[in-house]
Structure 1
């Protein structure tokens, strides 16, 4: 059915001639001999599709809220809880998935993870009430956290070092493209405002169809992984060199157009981790603690706390306002709809978030939202540009200095939203905000990679990301209450968080010059 199925009937062909006389090759040599070609290009759309799945899991609700608020009787606080539910799921599964991927491999779990996520998204589309939808979002976050963490590793382990560092950039481009796709799809589906009753049991609204369509990338990703090979690096680390050799031979054959037998390497080096297959869970946990224990020692503790604080403030600021942007655009659009397309200062246009004594109890949904989706797409496109220039800026300016400048400007942009005189200026500031936020999140990751030794990098990134997600969850729970207090509290609170990032960035150790 795929590369994996060819393992058993392909092992004997390469053990002829002078096999025993050949020098065993390490992973880097073996993957370099496969070349770069059709197989690698085939991975590009797969990487983009997989990165979109993660974005969709956290972002689709932002577009669903305005259309579903009457059907599900959603309050502002419950919208925040639905946004936070996904982050709660990712936090709950962080260590669970890490253990599974390191024990059982990448391919099968990526396949299972994406297929399960697609199924959960389909169930979400038929949600009868907000409680069921919240449960689905939590489970979706629990499931997608594994593939989200594993896909960069999997893709990196199928490329030589020359192209390996470009994989995170490719995934980031996929996220930005997905951010443009979501409002485009919302503009096609959500304004239809239909209600279909299936077998007198299930009810499907237009927002449910939107969730169903957004389940397709997860389903497609899961199906594709049925036919993809296991990571050869993982196979070698487990002492399964024969299987790894078949993967190398297959990639070589696809890239070169030659037969597998012509792959020049016949033996692979035996890696030390092959003896750990029989390791007990207790021993694995003990070894894991031994690996992360240096983070809590005198050498790295303060630095570890510093990057966790940076991740927390950046993630809380960025993810909170990012997920509430469509709702802000909706409030602006509703104001213009009710006031004959008349613009006003942003604070006046979003005043509907603040409770009013004379507020009507009748639920109202404005489906004339094309401007909402156009503005959301503009913001996403700006983020794509920001992401693409990140690498050039870091090389030219340096990661510490760019973080200093970025966080200071970012804080002033957040303050500027309070003073935005009309919707056009507000859209421009939100675009800049999101672009700077996407750069900031990547700069923090790069800082971690460059400040910590190889043995601590992965764990530091994982723990700091978990801290960031927890902050993002808290931010989405608190933000509705800030909106109800008025215009100043939400924007000044976010500006304060970002300014805290600026203060922390001043004490980040000076880095060595890096190239990505």
Structure 2
């Protein structure tokens, strides 16, 4: 879509403070609403720049939840980890996210997207560095908890921020773009792991502070959120948020900059010169209270009042439903996804120890022996198998397939719709998860795992796109935060019980996540249709 053609095709008011540029009054001109203003700004270089700067932002959330999956095999002897420890470390991040869900939601909806994105990513980077310096399980799990507590805010803010930079026609693609970005994060992590973790070095700083390859891996990962914090210093606040809080002059300046960058024309030629007063427009509506010219204290007080509309009609039934379906979606994906590198590790160790392959269930029988680490070199002693290239390559293949699925979904979502896409993907996801139990070769295992991760990743973002379109601006980030908070409760619970499922046998781990995804397919029948719905 060309920004110039969109701008020229829409009749838009060109008045400023009730007057034409030549000074003649023309009171019958109507101020432009958000959809008119953002459509007039077009689509182009500005949005491409935002996508590029959002890459590390999208990666930060994925890195926070997933890096432990690659650290486990390298650090299990250094930190004396067993299956339960690994489940707790995976769950700790989600528990942190759960505890901060509402806190970040109302801060973002009252104080703004940009400030929260900068502060949130900066703090997350600090806690990743603390986790990189960990010398024991207690220090590491504490850092992972607080990392999860922090990253929940920027994740929700990023979702709302990108959506509010697009018109209704383009908005459905935003979550698919985020899905692609997240998928590239899943590719970057094993790519980095294959370069760092096999080194297996040990650098003694002091008697109580030793740097291993996995510490260096986490130090490098800390650069991702820190880069994100710097990137958002150069981006404007969401114009929709500015309009909602009565700062129309600032919003107009943002629209002009977007227009100028997209079209290459001077800011003065932007066809909109006055915006609707959303404070007056929303008076009496049950959308939550937003007031212009507030102090920070007043903004925080008003933020609490924004929770109330979510628990009243017409939003109560909607918030309960989207939280339920997001819980099932995230539980299914992030339980198996986070354990895939560990499953690949078990397969790799089996093939090296026995010098042959076998059906997946036979190779995973090692998990039935509770609290035992893999013994490859000297039985009876804890030893790490550093020949894990196949583990990282398999993880990269899974990530590559996820990227392809995300891109394909982005191209078809406007044709088939968010709801239909979600239904189709949840059916495929559940089917291939159950099929893993019947896998008899590494090829089929890898194929099923790739399809499961790819479809599950797109499912989350497709559902978030529905949520963004269903709820108004003043409740949007709060709703996303609540849905993700409930979803992460499921993910935390799933990661806590998954070690028990692995020890119980081969069928329970795969049937658990498979039936969860198929349940999502059934629930999705009742999702609302929100195609090209104007942003409230």
Range into which the TM-score falls when normalised by the shorter chain: 0.7 to 0.9
Give the 3 Å change call, closer, same or farther, for CA 327–19 of structure 1 in structure 2. farther
**1:292–1:459 Cα contact (<8 Å) kept:** no
| Residue of 109, 117, 124 corresponding to 2:124 | 117
C-alpha displacement at 1:261, in angstroms? 4.3
Matches within 5 A, 1:69-468: 69-198=76-205, 202-272=209-279, 273-275=290-292, 277=294, 279=298, 281=300, 284-294=303-313, 300=317, 305-340=320-355, 342-355=356-369, 360-391=379-410, 406-445=425-464, 460-468=479-487
C-alpha change, 1:511 and 1:331, in structure 2 (3 Å) is: same
Deviation at 1:390, TM superposition (A): 2.9
Q: 1:476 aligns with which of 492, 495, 500?
A: 495
Whole-angstrom CA distance in 2 between matches of 1:451 and 1:104: 22
**Per-residue deviation, 1:430:** 1.1
Matched residue SS, 1:198: strand
Distance in 2, Cα, partners of 1:295 & 1:143: 31
Shift of 1:70: 0.6
Distance 2:401 2:313 in 1: 40
Q: CA RMSD in A?
A: 3.1
Instruction: Show structure 1 runs of 5+ residues with no match.
Output: 1-14
> Equivalent of 1:37, from 41, 44, 63?
44
Partner of 1:6: none
Matched, 1:490 2:509: yes
Q: Is contact 1:236-1:274 (8 Å) kept?
A: no
Does structure 2 conserve the Cα–Cα contact (< 8 Å) formed by 1:194 and 1:206?
yes
The separation in 2 between residues aligned to 1:509 and 1:433, in whole angstroms, is 23
Count of residue correspondences: 495
The structure-2 alpha-carbon separation of the partners of 1:356 and 1:262, relative to structure 1 and needing over 3 Å to count, comes to closer
1:351–1:487 CA contact under 8 A, matched in 2: yes
Q: Retained in 2: the 8 A contact 1:47–1:170?
A: no
Distance of aligned partners of 1:283 and 1:504 in 2 relative to their CA distance in 1, 3 Å threshold: closer
Q: Is the 8 A contact 1:240 1:274 kept in 2?
A: no
Unaligned 5+ runs, structure 2: 1-18, 280-289
Match of 2:54 among 47, 50, 63: 47
CA distance in 1, matches of 2:255, 2:452: 44
1:305 is displaced (CA, Å) by 4.5
In structure 2, do the counterparts of structure 1 residues 271 and 511 end up closer, same or farther at CA, with 3 Å as the change threshold? closer
Q: Is contact 1:48–1:173 with CA below 8 Å preserved after alignment? A: no
Instruction: Write the deviation string for residues 345-367 of structure 1: whole angstroms up to 9, x where unpaired.
Output: 11111111121799854112111
Q: In structure 2, do the counterparts of structure 1 residues 136 and 374 end up closer, same or farther at CA, with 3 Å as the change threshold?
A: same
| Change in 2 beyond 3 A, CA 1:192/1:92 | same
- For the residue of structure 2 that corresponds to 1:363, the secondary structure is coil
1:48-82 Cα offsets, whole Å, 9 max, x none, are: 22111111111111001000111111111010110
Residue 68 (structure 2) pairs with residue 68 (structure 1): no
Instruction: Indicate conservation of the 8 Å contact 1:354/1:486, yes or no.
Output: yes
- Deviation of 1:98 (Å): 1.3
Asked if 1:509 corresponds to 2:526, the answer is: yes
Distance 1:222 1:194, change over 3 A: same
Q: Which moved more, 1:85-94 or 1:243-252?
A: 243-252
Q: Distance in 2 between matches of 1:162 and 1:444?
A: 17
Deviations 1:252-273 (A, max 9, x none): 4434445444544443333314
How high is the TM-score relative to the length of structure 2?
Answer: 0.83
Is the Cα contact below 8 Å between 2:118 and 2:228 reproduced in 1? yes
Deviation at 1:16, TM superposition (A): 11
Q: After TM superposition, give the deviation of residue 110 of structure 1 in Å.
A: 0.8
Counterpart secondary structure, 2:383: coil
